[in-house]
């Protein structure tokens, strides 16, 4: 019999897409706290590609300005550099050369397959077409979120890798069990916003992880920017991220609604 964790898996991808499309930064930040359960290795293709695209999308203004200066120099000499003009236009539209993304994601054995997985799931777009793609960009799904992040000025490398991890889990389903202690911790803290050390260890015991795994999780969490940490305080009583608590409540609601719908269709 399928339990609630099955339904959590089923609704995670639609939840991420919905939050991205709305530009719901608090929801996304709440969900991103969950990646503290993982060590960022960059070995998962969808993870690496998403992180690099996100980072480059937010940093491409400088490149546009440099290419525009180069184009203007040609114009002063009475020449029109059509290829350079095309590159500038593509950059303005958010496109990045696939060759650059591939070079930045070293060691990926299934680079093209990973890109196609992201494309099929609506996270990226290719130019000029799927068969002869030379450029790639984040899809329009990201527009409101990108705009909000530019205003907030968050540390985009962390944001990108965290989103990449979540999207990878949502698409492939691998590693979901490692999220369960954090989900349980947020549920435990849903009323007061805090849990004791004993309660936290109890949450971790549901997937039988050793103490070193728990220590590594907390260590990774400490290194993240404050907005996407699980724990606002670690010593004594542990205070949890308010956006994380809200995100898990909403995710659970979607999962229970999905479970009810599933049971009616049996």
CATH code of domain 1-34+175-266: 1.10.10
Which sequence spans correspond to the domains of the chain? 1-34+175-266, 39-173
135-156 burial by CB neighbour count: b if 16+ within 10 A, else e? bbbbbebbebbbeebeeeebeb
- Give the pLDDT confidence of 83-110 residue by residue, as tens digits: 888 888 898 899 999 999 999 988 788 9
C-alpha dihedral over 62, 47, 140, 23, to 10 degrees? -90
Report the predicted TM-score, pTM, of the whole model to 2 decimal places: 0.89
- Give the pLDDT confidence of 111-154 residue by residue, as tens digits: 999 999 999 999 999 999 888 899 999 999 999 998 888 787 76
Place of tokens 């947020």: 186
């Amino acid at each position: 019999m399928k339990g609630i964790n099955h339904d959590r898996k089923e609704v995670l991808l639609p939840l991420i897409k919905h939050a991205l499309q709305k530009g719901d930064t608090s929801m996304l930040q709440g969900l991103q706290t969950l990646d503290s359960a993982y060590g960022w290795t960059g070995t998962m293709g969808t993870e690496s590609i998403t992180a690099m695209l996100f980072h480059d999308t937010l940093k491409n203004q400088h490149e546009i300005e440099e290419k525009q200066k180069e184009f203007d120099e040609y114009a002063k000499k009475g020449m029109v550099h059509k290829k350079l003009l095309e590159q500038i236009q593509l950059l303005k539209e958010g496109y990045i050369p696939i060759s650059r993304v591939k070079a930045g994601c070293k060691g990926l054995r299934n680079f093209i397959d990973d890109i196609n997985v992201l494309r099929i799931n609506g996270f990226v777009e290719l130019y000029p077409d799927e068969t002869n793609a030379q450029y790639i960009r984040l899809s329009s799904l990201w527009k409101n979120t990108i705009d909000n992040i530019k205003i907030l000025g968050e540390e985009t490398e962390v944001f990108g890798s965290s989103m990449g991890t979540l999207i990878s889990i949502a698409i492939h389903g691998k590693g979901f069990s490692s999220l369960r202690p954090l989900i349980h911790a947020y549920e435990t803290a849903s009323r007061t916003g805090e849990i004791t050390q004993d309660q936290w260890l109890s949450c971790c015991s549901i997937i039988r992880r050793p103490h070193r795994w728990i220590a590594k999780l907390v260590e990774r969490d400490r290194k993240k920017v404050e907005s996407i940490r699980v724990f606002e305080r670690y010593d004594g009583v542990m205070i949890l991220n308010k956006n994380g608590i809200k995100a898990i409540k909403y995710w659970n609601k979607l999962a229970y609604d999905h479970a009810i719908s599933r049971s009616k269709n049996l």
